[in-house]
Amino acid sequence: MYVPPHFAAGSQADMLALITAHPLGALVRAHDGGLQADHIPFELAPPADAAPNGVLRAHVARANPVWQADGAPVLVLFQGASSYVSPLLYDVEAAGGRVVPTWNYAVVHAHGRLRAIEDPAWILGQMTRMTRRHEDANAGWRVEDAPRDYIDKLVRTTVGIEIVIERLEAKFKLSQNRSAADRARVLQAME
């Protein structure tokens, strides 16, 4: 990914925060001589000694062939907020009319190797954590609310995915190359 220095993410913490806030990732892998992308919600396990960039965890239907890429290099793309930016938001006169439209966005690319996990306890734990994170803690649905035989069947027809993040790269293109006044107008328009 092309990242001019002024659009580079500030820190690993900023990149991981985007993944946490926008967990639907596009998992890209080589497949049948081309590229295949699957859109999957991920859980991010924080950095640790064995995984200094963190670990992505998810689960997919066994019918989805993505898990068969066990051991293969993959790229997971996470996208935060984005928006068209009209040149009318800039000080056109001060720029001598030299303005063009652009697009502001924040993206993170996580590189690693896919590991398929078929352990039922791991899969159930991952399903439970994802559900707990995205449901209302007090009144939301819980995995335990469904009949146990139904959940057991789902677990049998599901495969876990884990990706130790080997490398992170990000681009936070947020008009940093514009004046403070231009950035303020863009931000106000986006709100």
pLDDT digits (tens, 9 = 90+) for 153-185: 999 999 999 999 999 999 999 999 888 998 899
- Compute the distance between CA of residue 176 and CA of residue 102 in angstroms, rounded to an integer: 12
Q: Which residues pair with 27 in a beta bridge?
A: 38, 76
pLDDT value at 10 more than 90 = no
**What's the predicted TM-score (pTM) here?**
0.92
The mean pLDDT value for 22-47 works out to 96
Cβ 38 vs Cβ 27: under 8 Å: yes
pLDDT digits (tens, 9 = 90+) for 45-97: 999 999 999 999 999 999 999 999 999 999 999 999 999 999 999 888 888 88
Which residue, 72, 78, 67, 10, is CA-closest to 43?
Answer: 78
- Compute the distance between CA of residue 6 and CA of residue 165 in angstroms, rounded to an integer: 24
